[in-house]
Amino acid sequence: MPTVIVPPPYQGPTRAVGRVEVAAGSVRDCLDELEARFPGFRAQVMSGDAVHRFVKLFVNGELLAGPDLERKLEGSDEIEIVAAIAGG
């Protein structure tokens, strides 16, 4: 099953769980599944139907161009959600 890596700032809904295996065939399905399991998760990543401007999605270490949420996933894929959280 694909794995989603959740950064610490977004672990509120996942209760500090940072790696989640998700039965999903696409990036969009992953985010939907995470929302079903951890209500409130999707709003951290998405603004309506688009990814927040300040969020980047990586699949297997490569930036997801677009981002193409329909990108098909294999069982061993890792989706990483990255957002800049720090600031002086």
- The backbone torsions φ and ψ at residue 80, rounded to the nearest 5 degrees and listed phi first, read -110, 130
Count interface residues toward another protein (CB under 8 A).
Answer: 24
Q: Does 88 sit near another protein (CB under 8 A)?
A: yes
Choose which of 25, 63, 66, 68 interacts with another protein (CB under 8 A): 63
Stretch that binds another protein, among 19-27, 28-36, 49-57, 65-73 (CB under 8 A): 49-57
Distance separating alpha carbons of residues 1 and 37, to the nearest angstrom:
16
Q: Does 65 sit near another protein (CB under 8 A)?
A: no
Instruction: Work out whether the CA dihedral 59, 73, 68, 65 comes out positive or negative.
Output: positive
Distance separating alpha carbons of residues 2 and 80, to the nearest angstrom:
11
Binding residues for another protein, per CB under 8 A? 8-9, 11-17, 43-44, 52-54, 56, 58, 63, 82-88
